Homo-oligomer: A and B are copies of this chain.
Amino acid sequence: MVGAGTDRTKISRGGGPAIVLVRPQLAVNIGMCARAMANFGLSDLRLVSPREGWPRTGSLRKGAYAAAAGAVHLLEGAKLYDTLAEAVADLNFVWATTARERGQGKRVELPGNAMPESAARMAAGERHGIMFGPERTGLENDEVATADAIITFPVNPAYASLNLAQAVLLTGYEWNRAATGETLPFQAPDYSPRANREMVLSFFDYLEGELDKNGFFRPPGKAPVMRRNLRNIFHRMEMTEQDVRTLRGALVRLVEGPRKEAKTRKKAKKAEGPEA
């Protein structure tokens, strides 16, 4: 995981379109799909005739639950169907995901266009679902025919194979974007307000004064341009008050030389003799 950002005190976003896994081959992949769904607030998982069954016990169950990495509520709530027709019976609109053209004359959309459409129609009360085929072969043509339209992923044509959980992940990502407006989970903190002009100009005055004493601005005719260029470098930083204090402190140290107290301390240490 990239950072341990899961916070169980926060309310889980739920809902979204049904994720219909058609004849998934491996229980462990069902677990990975559940995890991807949880990442983006999808909660309606439907399984059509999983090849390994949908084990309630044993090592297959264990593998699926380990892969779900905490999204156990999704596996517990997964609905099991014998046929695709039963799995999509209550849905008003069904997308089929495919990586190839199927010659069925159906509308084809990228997930980034499909999910806003679903979000709008679902907000108006419709139920939508997205079908994903078995890992190795994808959906059969008859299964694609069940759908209203097709979702395909904008992958590198030379390397188009997405695994099942990745296809679910990208769909969930776009669902989340469409349904929630995609807000940042956290913001850069305003740990210090941006410095006002007075503070910034006072810093420049000190810096330029010291540089001037040391003959930095040469030839004198170039001084105005040199000052302006120097100021613009600092302006680009959009300095906070803390930034100005830190930089000014560093500058003072360079100008004034070693701290008095530091010297005292060093001497005191010397008097103590070498370290034990």
A-side residues, CB < 8 A to B, are 1-8, 10-13, 35-36, 38-41, 69-71, 97-101, 103, 105-108, 110, 112, 132-133, 135-139, 150, 152-167, 169-170, 173, 176-177, 180, 182-189, 191-192, 240
B158 touches A7 (CB 8 A): yes
Chain B residues with Cβ below 8 Å from A160 are 3, 5-7, 39, 185
Closest to A154 in B: B182
A12 touches B159 (CB 8 A): yes
**Dominant SS at the A interface?**
loop
CA distance A136 to B5 in the complex (A): 11
Within the complex, the shortest CB–CB distance from A101 to chain B, in Å, comes to 4
A186 touches B108 (CB 8 A): yes
Chain B residues with Cβ below 8 Å from A135 are 1
Most chain B CB atoms below 10 A, which of A13, A107, A154: A154
CA distance A153 to B182 in the complex (A): 9
B163 touches A1 (CB 8 A): yes
CA distance A260 to B179 in the complex (A): 56
Q: A161-B69, A186-B108 are in contact. Are A1 and B138 (CB under 8 A)?
A: yes
B4 touches A39 (CB 8 A): no
A185 touches B99 (CB 8 A): yes
Closest to A104 in B: B188
